[in-house]
Structure 1
Amino acid sequence: MTTATPNHEKAIARLRDLLGDRLATGPSIRDLHGRDAAYATPHLPDAVAFPDSTEEVAAIMRICSEHRCPVVPFGIGSSLEGHVVPLKGGISVDTSRMNRVLAVNDRDLDAVVQPGVTRTQLNAELRATGLMFTVDPGADATIGGMAATRASGTNAVRYGTMRENVMALTVVLADGRVIRTGSRARKSSAGYDLTHLFVGSEGTLGIITELTVRLHGSPERIMAATCAFDTVEDAVDTVILAIQSGLPMARIELLDEMQMRGMNIFNPDLDLPEKPHLFLEFHGTEAGVEEQVATFGDIAGEFGVSGFRSASRTEDRTRLWEARHNAYFAAKALRPGCSAVLTDCCVPISALAECIARTKVLIAESGLVAPLVGHVGDGNFHLAILIDPDDPDDMARAKTLAGAVNMIALELGGTVTGEHGVGSGKTAYMRAEHGEGWDLMAQIKRSIDPLNIMNPGKVVEV
């Protein structure tokens, strides 16, 4: 719970003059904007603003800067490390009304969108063009939020993350200045790469109000598949050899035996053996996909693959990936009534099997249930550590486990988060990962936001 300070109240009064009924102070709206999809402790904003344009966002920031009122950008609230939780109160700026696709440049394979456009909304608009926006974090997140958190997902192994798919931005800074970074050109050597400074900045440097994103051609043929292995190591070794062999895999997802148990409980029709699985997708021409599948089958055969099932019909593929995207709910089916502490890390692919093996030892020692899923094509995996929400000991053990996994990832040359981001949940590990580089991040933050009003308490310490 937060109580507005006199300065915050002055800012709210001026914002009400600017926005009218698009400034909300009701408890239910504030509560919705005081939490995200994970375990972070909620904090209420003092008010929620719903701007319509870059100009209104700039006006909001000028007012908040004058009154030193904190501002937290809000997309759809699907982040997992407390990114959108307003730790210092202030104004939550909800960009959901800024949801127009401004241009689709099909010949240049790019689109210009406002930040409130969701990935499924953009792909629906692209359907007639034969193009697709490929970043798929699972949740139907806003593209502005995905850029702010440098999201990735199941397609990243082939098509890249938001880092590779954002070409240009319009950003409103803490003092209300509007800057434009990058361009629609495919490359540039002109100055600092400001676009990618803001991609992944989690709202601590400015509010993204327009994006130019890269598009890709829809493949002629898509085939999905599942296959089982006796051990996680066999599954990971299959992936490593497939990538080293140059197979252009579109998706390679690992689900361990505990996750598969939850999948079968949550999706009774799935009926897959409770063994480590890979969920796969192949894109290309008719002949190319057939060749990819055959080559992958040969590689997997060297590691004892079993139960290889393929699906080329759209409805069958959709069913398979819906099951994967519902992995969080499937995990919770293993312990009805539970909550989950979610964490992720990422390591070089060659270290992935060791990282997972050591993680599984830690899980066993903790006495907790923690099913594992991973985007193994790029060395990233996630744990859903199941806890009793009313048991402080469960929470303490879960956080200890998550922290230990983070340190293993760093020891193996990796990062404490490949997807979830830092928010407030992983700031404790930033010094260990970045050393003096973390101090430089704070210096950049102070130079752009000297009053520390942009999402304070996240990513860096200032």
Structure 2
Amino acid sequence: MTAATETIIQALREVLTEEQVTINKTVRELHGKDESYHTMKLPDIVVFPSSAEDVSHVMRVSSKHRVPVTPFGLGSSLEGHVIPENGGITIDFSNMNQILSVQAEDFLVTVQPGVTRSQLNKELKKHGLFFSVDPGADATLGGMAATNASGTTSVKYGIMRDQVRDLEVVLADGTIIHTGNKAAKSASGLHLNGLFVGSEGILGCFTELTLRVYGIPEFTTAARASFPTVNDAVEAVVSILQAGIPIARVELVDEPSMKQVNLFSETNYKEKPTLFLEFHGNEAGLQQDVEFTKEIVADHHCEDVAFETDNAERNRLWEARHNLAYAFIHSHPGKKLMVTDVCLPISELADAVNHARETVESLDMPAGIVGHVGDGNFHVLLMMDVNNPEEIAKADELNEKIVLYALERGGTCTGEHGVGTGKRKYQEQEHGAALVVMEKIKRALDPDNLLNPNKILPLDSTETKL
């Protein structure tokens, strides 16, 4: 332990207990990586706060000693968000995992940032409620807010930013603020919720979230529809949306991915471009929607459509979709998964997916394409050997081509995974002069660039040696 590290630890322990501060190498290694292929970098110290006041103390120590701080939820991020590029302190929020209140009549819940999505929904079920954002991974709600997560249900319920009513945030100097209130709407002041959601820890640390929740639908039905081509599947989705059918989920899974689904989940689904769909509502209304949907998909050359109202079969369908990443990993031992993430106008989606498939085939690497096609978001699941420079170069080439294609057609370099370090280089091209405004906001709130440095914005910072 260096003298500088010892000084920081002593300062932290003026408020935190010995158990809340560690330099154990194994613990540091767990906090030096996420689910991405980005290179591990270790923090010097890991702290486990139990309150906003604890986090405020950590930030005051950080500010005084100019030590960078990286927030950490469960490490399920996909663009290196929680990797401490400059070392320093990692704040692990796992001890702040309490559901503070359920305001059922207001359809609101207040939680600490370490609460996971499944933990919240288990509690909400007692009240006939559920939290809508479903990114697949059982991520923490603090992390989901930090990356503006979305997922399979965003076509009906919206993304994480749409659910946040209020955040308690600890700023770089230790100040604790609230960004909103519990009202359904407000015309007062700047929209700080929108500013902090998706900021990936570069503006402050979330210590409490008030979120919108929903009543569990009276009736739910799921469907699986296969098509001869991706174009037919995407055009069917556009027609379903134009018809005003209240679809809750609509996922595209391409042919290679369907093969992985069958292998991993032991299903016998048709191995063609497939839509996974789900409808929420009352039983009488949904019967009409189902019949209308059957007519629409038939008009787009649907080869097979099967509806599931049985809860077990419906869960099996969505588990197969959610487990697709693990299916690829399981089938390619020794390789690492890279997941791309772009979002385009729906009118551009079919061509973008076809372009991605052509690019993948030209690289001769195992990959599948899936997407939340109801909102124009799709991913390539690519398996690569991180110890093979040639495969890393091919993966970077694929990512670059997919991102540039999206940007040239009015899309974004990331629809839900966030920027982290992996998408930093595209920020200027996507945002232009607006990027300067973002940098000014960052400097105003974090003048020493200590909060999760080297993420999102192309601001340089010096690595701290402790």
TM class, shorter-chain normalised?
A: over 0.9
Check conservation: 1:8, 1:90, Cα contact below 8 A: no
Among candidates 414, 419, 423, match of residue 422 of structure 1: 419
Alignment partner for residue 383 of structure 2, among 382, 386, 394? 386
Q: 2-side partners of 1:87 and 1:456: how far apart?
A: 7
Q: Distance in 1 between matches of 2:339 and 2:125?
A: 33
Number of the residue aligned with 1:171: 169
Q: Distance in 1 between matches of 2:428 and 2:119?
A: 38
User: Where in structure 2 are the equivalents of 1:64-79 lying within 5 Å?
Assistant: 64-79=62-77
TM-superposed deviation, 1:5: 6.9
Which of 105, 108, 111 aligns to 2:106? It is: 108
CA contact (8 A) 1:251 1:279 kept: yes
1:227 is displaced (CA, Å) by: 1.2
Task: Say yes or no: does 1:326 pair with 2:304.
Answer: no
1:344-372 CA distances to partner (integer Å, 9 max, x unpaired)?
10000011011111111211222222200
Q: What CA RMSD, in Å, does the superposition of the two structures yield over aligned residues? A: 1.2
Q: Does 1:433 align with 2:427?
A: no
- In structure 1, list runs of 5 or more residues that go unmatched: none
Does the Cα contact within 8 Å between 2:425 and 2:458 map onto a contact in 1? no
CA distance in 2: counterparts of 1:97 and 1:52, whole angstroms: 6
How far 1:127 moved relative to its partner?
1.0
Q: Deviations over 1:31-53 (max 9, x none)?
A: 00000011010000011100000
What's the secondary structure of 1:182's corresponding residue?
Answer: coil
Residue of structure 2 equivalent to 1:315:
312
Query: Is the 8 Å Cα contact of residues 66 and 448 (structure 2) preserved in structure 1?
Result: yes
| Distance across 2 between alignment mates of 1:183 and 1:167 | 6
- Give the counterpart of 1:205 among 203, 206, 216: 203
Supply the distance in 2 between the matched residues of 1:334 and 1:98 (Cα, whole angstroms).
36
User: Which residue in 1 is equivalent to 2:133?
Assistant: 135
Give the Cα separation in 2 of the matches to 1:237 and 1:318: 26
Normalised by the length of structure 2, the TM-score is: 0.96
Paired residue type of 1:392: P
Q: Which residue of 2 aligns with 1:242?
A: 240
TM-score normalised to structure 1 length: 0.97
1:185, distance to aligned residue in structure 2 (A): 0.3
Displacement of 1:253:
0.4
The residue aligned with 2:463 is: none
- Larger mean CA deviation between 450-459 and 381-390 belongs to 381-390
Partner Cα separation in structure 1 for residue 341 and residue 185 of structure 2? 32
Q: Check whether the contact 1:75–1:144 (CA below 8 A) recurs between aligned residues.
A: yes
Q: Gaps (5+ residues) in structure 2?
A: 460-466
Amino acid in the other structure paired with 1:51: P
Q: 1:406 aligned to 2:403?
A: yes
CA–CA distance in structure 2, aligned partners of residues 47 and 458 of structure 1:
19
TM-superposed CA distance for 1:390, in Å, is: 2.4
Identity %: 49
Instruction: Select 1:337's aligned residue among 312, 315, 334.
Output: 334
State the partner residue of 1:61: 59
Tell me the residue number matched to 2:363. Answer: 366
Mapped to 2, the partners of 1:291 and 1:33 lie a distance apart of: 50
2:145 partner letter: A
Which residue of structure 2 aligns with residue 396 of structure 1? 393
Q: Which residue of 2 aligns with 1:352?
A: 349
Q: Give the alignment partner of residue 9 of structure 2, picking from 12, 23, 27.
A: 12
Q: Is the 8 A contact 1:72 1:455 kept in 2?
A: yes
**Alignment counterpart, residue 26 of structure 1, candidates 13, 17, 24:** 24
Alignment-mate amino acid for residue 162 of structure 1: M
Cα deviation digits, residues 105-149 of structure 1 (max 9, x gap)? 111111111101111111111112111100010010010110000
Give the number of aligned pairs.
458
Alignment of 1:282-301 (within 5 A): 282-301=279-298
Aligned to 1:371, the other structure's residue is in SS state strand
Distance 1:193 1:205 in 2: 15
Report the AA paired with residue 379 of structure 2. H
CA shift for structure 1 position 6? 5.2
Which whole-Å CA distance do the structure 2 matches of 1:92 and 1:12 have between them?
Answer: 13
Tell me the amino acid that sits aligned with residue 245 of structure 2. Answer: L
Please state whether the residue corresponding to 2:62 is helix, strand or coil.
helix
Contact 2:357 2:369 in 1 (8 A): no
Secondary structure, counterpart of 1:282 in structure 2: strand
Work out whether 1:446 is the aligned partner of 2:448.
no
Matched, 1:117 2:115: yes
